[in-house]
Amino acid sequence: MMLRSLFFLVLLLFHRGRDVQGEGGKKGQCKEDVQDKTAQGCADYEVLNHLNLTSDKVMYTMGRPTRNNNRPLMVVITLMPLAILDVSEIDQTFVTHLEVNMKWTNDFISWSPDDFCGIDKVVIPSDALWKPYITITEMTDKEKALTSPFLKITSNGTTEVSINQVMKTICKMRVHKFPFDTQSCNITFMSNLYDSEDLFLCSHYGTDTYTKKILKTITQYEWSFRNMTVHTWKIKRMLNFRITVKRISVIYIINFLLPIFFLLCLDLFSFLLSDTGGEKVGFKITILLAVTVMQLILNDLLPSSSERIPIIVVYCIGIFTMMMLSLLETLFVMYLIEKDSSLQEEKAVQDKIPAMKKYNASSSDVTAFRRPSAAKEDTGIIQMEGQLALDKLTDELREMKKMITLLNSDRCEEKSGYWTKLAGRINKIFGVCYVICTAAFLATIFLNWTSEEE
């Protein structure tokens, strides 16, 4: 019994020793495997040495990397706008932060990842392999061309280059609906060295896929991204991306459109001021100068030349014209009122003239009555009779003059009331027409602004 127990104990110790050795052997085997893999070439350099890319040969950088020269080499381009930085209407430029990815297949590059510990891609300098010379036709800064210091190649020969840069391109601006405008700018990739039989540019995604992906990642400031369409011209070996953006116009509404509208409202309420003083004219001239300053600011925002007159220019000029007409109407009404005032002053002067003449006539009669007549007593009766006849004639002439003066004063009163009433009627009619024309003008302007783009 004891021998049997001792036998099982020795057997148990033997199995435990084998398990420990087995675990130690597995750990050692992992180290040996790693060392063997390293020795077999589990490094990118070994892959490059296998492809003869570590030598000084330049054959890989010359000519299209295709075994069949009868078919064009396909270059797949992916364009992802990361941010819309600036859209300059005056310079007609479009500044964006772009991520460009280009892929093509090199028929002379391939290896088995199993032979190199599963390495299926390596990164090499861009000068080590052939790459297509592709440019952007709208780019203005040629010093920032599409260049990348490195290429990524996979085991099946797919070569990839990724470029991330800020790009400034030419874009024809349509400012007819500024600041509610929508701009469409083109980014066209083209190869100047190869024709359509040698190179074919295509896009990895379609329009809908691009739009969905860009809306999730793009950073928007003053402009809101709408969509990006893709067009391929095989004959022209060109690939066109059209980016459509819409201006976020809140800042322009608050800082420009509303102040001009408020100035127009002030001009409307100026009809409540009196036309007899000069304060109304000074107030209207001040508002007119304020609109002129806003027009000068607008001149710095818009390009000097455009196919169509911007609606905002019509908006400013229309308001300026209505304010100027309102100022001219105020000056005309004040002229009529001033004409009435001058007629009243003339009437007052004419009322004083008969009283002064009567006073002078009475003084002359008293003087004649008090004149001594002792030297000519014989002719006194004759002179008295002549004097009485003359006095009678003078009295009749005075009565006629009073009647004429009374008639003239009645005419002056009638004329004075006529001009005042006419000025009041003109002011009321012009005020009503001014309000109606202003409402119709603003409604037309905003309907054109909110209508769809052509």
CATH code (residue 135): 2.70.170.10
Domain boundary among 218, 248, 278: 248
Task: Decide: helix, strand or coil at residue 146.
Answer: coil
Quote the pLDDT of residue 131: 86
Question: Looking at the domain assignment, is residue 97 inside a domain?
Answer: yes
Domain boundary among 248, 271, 299: 248
**Structural domain count of the chain:** 2
Question: Looking at the domain assignment, is residue 384 inside a domain?
Answer: no
Quote the pLDDT of residue 32: 36
Taking alpha carbons only, the member of 178, 305, 167 closest to residue 247 is 178
Rounded Cα gap, residues 279 and 431, in angstroms: 18
Quote the pLDDT of residue 316: 93
Pairing of strands 93-105, 158-170: antiparallel
Quote the pLDDT of residue 408: 56
Question: Looking at the domain assignment, is residue 147 inside a domain?
Answer: yes
Quote the pLDDT of residue 302: 83
Residue 288 and residue 238 share a domain = no
Question: Looking at the domain assignment, is residue 374 inside a domain?
Answer: no
Amino acid sitting at position 400: M
What's the pLDDT tens digit per position in 376-397?
444 555 556 556 666 666 766 6
What residues in the chain have per-residue pLDDT under 50? 1-41, 56-58, 349, 355, 359, 363-378, 413-414
Give the domain CATH number at 319: 1.20.58.390
List the structure tokens of 357: 């003449």
Taking alpha carbons only, the member of 132, 245, 244, 135 closest to residue 188 is 135
Give yes or no for a contact between 230 and 210, defined as CB atoms under 8 angstroms apart: yes
Question: Looking at the domain assignment, is residue 338 inside a domain?
Answer: yes
Question: Looking at the domain assignment, is residue 4 inside a domain?
Answer: no
Residue 228 and residue 102 share a domain = yes
Range of the domain at 428: 251-355+408-454
Question: Looking at the domain assignment, is residue 382 inside a domain?
Answer: no
Residue 176 and residue 162 share a domain = yes
Residue 349 and residue 204 share a domain = no
Residue 257 and residue 232 share a domain = no
Residue 327 and residue 437 share a domain = yes
Give yes or no for a contact between 275 and 334, defined as CB atoms under 8 angstroms apart: yes
CA dihedral 276, 280, 285, 290 (to 10 degrees): 180
Question: Looking at the domain assignment, is residue 95 inside a domain?
Answer: yes
Residue 415 and residue 335 share a domain = yes
Domain boundary among 248, 274, 301: 248
Give yes or no for a contact between 213 and 227, defined as CB atoms under 8 angstroms apart: no
